[in-house]
Amino acid sequence: MKIALGADHAGFALKEQIKQHLVRKGFEVDDRGTYSTASVDYPDYARAVGDEVTSQTAEMGILVCGSGIGMAIAANKVPGVRAANVRSEEEAELSRRHNNANVLALGARWMDENAACRIVDRWLSAPFEGGRHQRRVEKIAEVERAEAQTVRSS
């Protein structure tokens, strides 16, 4: 499985630790940056990872910033992305099982490497349950299509 990975300057160190963890576990990682702690704009990295996921160049995406909030907001603007900002293993699992989240957003200020790697592992191993949750995920896609139609009509 290929994972697209991105971070801003606040998430750089944790991204690097997550990358090493994923490689050790046998995942292919496409690191979309940033590559240092120099100040950058998080939406650029959220977009790069989101585009990879929606184009199916990568199966899943992981984003890291200071809080995870900005990355999740920006990534969710990419049509087809369902990004979840989570702080616990339980939230990670539910974001996959119930929401079919395809991008995980983490806040480097809220967790250390061990917690982040446990969250990542739980997120990657949880299957989407489908069923009643599939109907809800489809409604999210309907909202995206309607918004795109509104923009095209303007």
Mean pLDDT by 10 residues, the chain (154 residues): 98 98 98 98 98 98 98 97 98 98 98 98 96 90 84 79
* The pLDDT value given to residue 145: 83
98 is a catalytic site residue: yes
Q: What domains lie within the chain, and their CATH numbers?
A: 2-129 (3.40.1400.10)
Please tell me which residue in 9, 65, 117, 133 is annotated as part of the active site: 65
* The pLDDT value given to residue 151: 80
133 is a catalytic site residue: no
Strand order in the sheet with 103-107: 28-31, 2-7, 60-65, 103-107, 83-85
* The pLDDT value given to residue 114: 98
Residues 6+ apart with CB under 8 A from 138: none
* The pLDDT value given to residue 150: 82
* The pLDDT value given to residue 54: 97
Please tell me which residue in 9, 21, 98, 117 is annotated as part of the active site: 98
* The pLDDT value given to residue 128: 96
